[in-house]
Amino acid sequence: MLASLCLLTRLVMTRFAVCALLGFALGTSAALAQTKISNGMLTGPNGMTLYTFDKDAAGSGKSACTGPCEKLWPPFTANASDKAAGDYSLIARDDGNKQWAYKGKPLYFWSKDQKSGDMTGDGFNKIWHVAKP
């Protein structure tokens, strides 16, 4: 009887562990599928370089780049179904859209980058930087 109870407990715990790990992996993959690491920097799913803005306070849940700024530095927006996971979080923009953030810093593209691998916005006005993992 005790042996059967131990075996049953092991099976339940194993099933629980597998389900928990699978749930974590699925949640994480949604966030991680949005970005890639290329040449030591974060890029969007389109291969374009992602940037951070010094005027954004990490963890504030807000973007300081609005209006004319966001025309030059388009936010890396998220889909309504995207979920935060790990170092990736979502912030609500003033227009109601969601934007990806990495370690609490909102992520942006630079409108003047033309192709994958371009990082012409790095160091712009000494306040824009390539996002690095």
Return the pLDDT at 60: 95
Q: Is residue 2 part of a domain?
A: no
pLDDT of residue 91: 96
At residue 118, the pLDDT reads 96
How many structural domains comprise the chain? 1
pLDDT at 106: 98
DSSP class of 125: G
pLDDT at 50: 98
- How high is the pLDDT of residue 77? 94
In a domain, 57, yes or no: yes
Residue 55 structural domain? 34-130
User: What is the pLDDT of the chain when averaged over all its residues?
Assistant: 81
Would 3 be classed as within a structural domain? Answer: no
Q: What is the DSSP string of 52-119?
A: EETTSPTTSS--S--THHHHHS-B-EE-TT---BTTEEEEE-TTS-EEEEETTEE-B--TT--STT--
The answer to whether residue 1 is domain-embedded is: no
Query: Quick check: is 6 in a domain?
Result: no
Weakly modelled stretches of the chain, pLDDT under 70: 1-33
Position 26 in a domain: no
pTM: 0.76
According to the model, what pLDDT value does residue 63 have?
97
Instruction: Read off the pLDDT of residues 61-79 as tens digits, 9 standing for 90 and up.
Output: 999 999 999 999 999 999 8
pLDDT on residue 80: 85
Domain for residue 18, yes or no? no
Least Cα distance to 90 among 23, 130, 34 occurs for 34
- Classify residue 123: in a domain, yes or no: yes
∠ CA 45-49-53, rounded to 5°: 120
